[in-house]
Amino acid sequence: MPNTEGSLKGGAYRFVHAVLAISTLLISGLWGIGAFAQSCPTRPIKLVVPFPAGGPADVLGRLITQKLSESLGTPVIVDNRSGANGIIGTDLVAKATPDGYTMLINTGSTTINAHVYSKLPYDLMRDLAPVTMVAAPSGLVLVSHPSLGVSSVKDLIALAKQKPGQISFSSSGNGSALQLAGELFSAIAGVKLVHVPYKGAGPAFNDLLSGQVQLMFPATVSVMPYVNSRRLRVLAQTGATREPGLPNVPTLMEEGFGDFNITGWFGIWVPARTPDVIVRRFHAEIARALKLPDVRERFDALGVSPSGVSPGEFGRFVHEDYERIGKYVKQADIRLD
């Protein structure tokens, strides 16, 4: 009579062994070996920058990829996929395989897009997972070309009321934080400024420097060298408090604009369902890089502060930013579809 019990035990053993082998292969497909947290990726990693080269997201992204390439022992390359205020590149990452080989660096436009467009090709909270904030929230700055002849917010408002529709401000695109700041400023001040959108912060900034447009609300990371060289005049800050690098520049809240707290921030994301161990590894490596003396020196020169908060903290910040931005978008009456 056959030994049924022995056959069953043998079959069960072979089944479990097969499942474990398949699981190992699946995990190996992520970054090469099962001991994931201690492993290194086996092919280049891509960091998608959903904006043109030369903008602040691109500058910070390239700094981060350089350090990640060194610490992970494999190339981490920047892939600029600009268009539609970051939507094209963000959607690319949202739909990417969650295997640890695709990351995204994005800005405050992430939460703005969710309010100004009635339908996006992705769901921010469902399709992307937060890793960490690279640069801590900092206010944008209201800057003017010297040819405009204003040196304060009061001067600007008075001139804008004398010349309705004749003063323009540039932005990195429709739905950007730069547009939101300009439209909210106009609504609260009771003036009519003309919005001129560009395909990225770089072109918008170039036309400001040449005097083709008169105003802009750029991130501090973009503007400091030009303020220091007096090619631009800084009139105000859009954050709730003064930035350490601009202690003598008032905030718009101090200028009587009430609740006006629009900040620029930069964060790293991966596709949703990326294994938590990969997310933790990325966070650990980026947080470590942000503590390096040469990185901190570079951030100081750009006028931004390194962050490196946990994935959970970054996720909570994004939720709070989403709620606050929704109120501003409604007040400024911005809809893009």
The rounded distance, in Å, linking the Cα atoms of 16 and 122 is: 38
What does the pLDDT read at residue 225?
Answer: 83
Pairing of strands 215-216, 141-144: antiparallel
Q: How confident is the model at residue 30 (pLDDT cuts 50, 70, 90)?
A: low
Q: How confident is the model at residue 228 (pLDDT cuts 50, 70, 90)?
A: confident
221: pLDDT strictly greater than 60:
yes
Q: Is the CB of residue 179 less than 8 Å from the CB of residue 197? A: yes
> For residue range 237-262, what is the model confidence (pLDDT) as tens digits?
999 999 877 899 999 999 999 999 99
312: pLDDT strictly greater than 50:
yes
CB-side neighbour CA atoms (13 Å) of 65:
23
> For residue range 104-114, what is the model confidence (pLDDT) as tens digits?
999 988 999 99
- In the chain, where are the structural domains located? 43-137+263-332, 139-257
Q: Give ∠ CA 328-235-197 in degrees, rounded to 5.
A: 55
Name the CATH superfamily housing domain 43-137+263-332: Bordetella uptake gene, domain 1 (3.40.190.150)
Q: Is the CB of residue 138 less than 8 Å from the CB of residue 56? A: no
Fold classification of 139-257 is D-Maltodextrin-Binding Protein; domain 2 (3.40.190)
Q: Residue 219's beta-bridge partner residues?
A: 140
Residue range 77-89: average pLDDT?
93
235: pLDDT strictly greater than 50:
yes
What does the pLDDT read at residue 40?
Answer: 67
Give the global pTM.
Answer: 0.79
Q: Is the CB of residue 299 less than 8 Å from the CB of residue 305? A: yes
Query: Across all residues in the chain, what is the average pLDDT?
Result: 88
Q: What is the DSSP string of 151-201?
A: -SHHHHHHHHHHSTT--EEEESSTTSHHHHHHHHHHHHHT--PEEEE-SSH
> For residue range 36-66, what is the model confidence (pLDDT) as tens digits?
444 568 899 999 999 888 888 999 999 999 9
